[in-house]
Chain A
Amino acid sequence: AQSVSQHNHHVILSEAASLELGCNYSYGGTVNLFWYVQYPGQHLQLLLKYFSGDPLVKGIKGFEAEFIKSKFSFNLRKPSVQWSDTAEYFCAVKMGGSGNTGKLIFGQGTTLQVKP
């Protein structure tokens, strides 16, 4: 079955530490990949997305993610986290590529807690 896995459920970091959140999916075809962030009490916001081209994509607030096709992965990274990055992070995959007929499948989410 098509699925998206986020291996880190709860991550606690100190400010200025580096962050990497894992995301893997199970699907052999074309995919569109997304990372969304949900700050406490707020709605989901798009951090970054990958459709095609350069597998290293940069998003807002200093986040980036790398698509490694051979590993079916799309890990999220940030070199130096801030207390304001405390939030829930969701990886989402649209399997089958572009076009608005396919649905987004979300990972379980990772809770990031940054200690000041």
Chain B
Amino acid sequence: GAVVSQHPSRVICKSGTSVKIECRSLDFQATTMFWYRQFPKKSLMLMATSNEGSKATYEQGVEKDKFLINHASLTLSTLTVTSAHPEDSSFYICSATPVQGSDTQYFGPGTRLTVL
């Protein structure tokens, strides 16, 4: 149980275009989903916390207009990287908590974004 999927697993796009990444909780409802960015040989950096039906909470230094997050249902959150640039190339990982008050996050497999 507690499976989280991400789509696509990898994407290559041209500079200036927008890319949407989906995060789905497959066998549970997720009140809260989290978006992370992982740099090579580095830890996970939390970008934003997404709650269903409300605006996402962004971490300091993360541009909310560049990284648009939508959590429209209890099983789906999307991250859209707008006007992507090569420096946005990274590994993006989402996670979800199964129930209200749960402190265990279950992680998706990640999406490798390469911006040319």
Q: Does B65 have its Cβ within 8 Å of any Cβ on chain A?
A: no
Q: Does B54 have its Cβ within 8 Å of any Cβ on chain A?
A: no
**Which residues 26-47 of B have a CB within 8 angstroms of A?**
31-32, 34, 41-46
Interface residues on A, range: 20 to 34
Q: Does A51 have its Cβ within 8 Å of any Cβ on chain B?
A: yes
Q: Does B87 have its Cβ within 8 Å of any Cβ on chain A?
A: no
Give the shortest distance, in Å, between B15 (CB) and chain A (any CB). 27
Give the shortest distance, in Å, between A104 (CB) and chain B (any CB). 6
Q: How many residues of B contact A (CB 8 A)?
A: 26
Given contacts A42-B109, A46-B106, contact A104 B34 (CB under 8 A): yes
* Chain B residues closer than 8 Å to A45, beta-carbon distance: 107
Q: Are A100 and B42 in contact (CB under 8 A)?
A: no
Q: Does A44 have its Cβ within 8 Å of any Cβ on chain B?
A: yes
* Chain B residues closer than 8 Å to A104, beta-carbon distance: 34, 46, 105
| Complex: A116 Cα to B110 Cα, angstroms | 29
Q: Are B103 and A100 in contact (CB under 8 A)?
A: yes
Q: Does A71 have its Cβ within 8 Å of any Cβ on chain B?
A: no
Tell me the A residues contacting B by CB distance below 8 Å: 32, 34, 36, 42-46, 49, 51, 90, 94, 98-100, 103-109
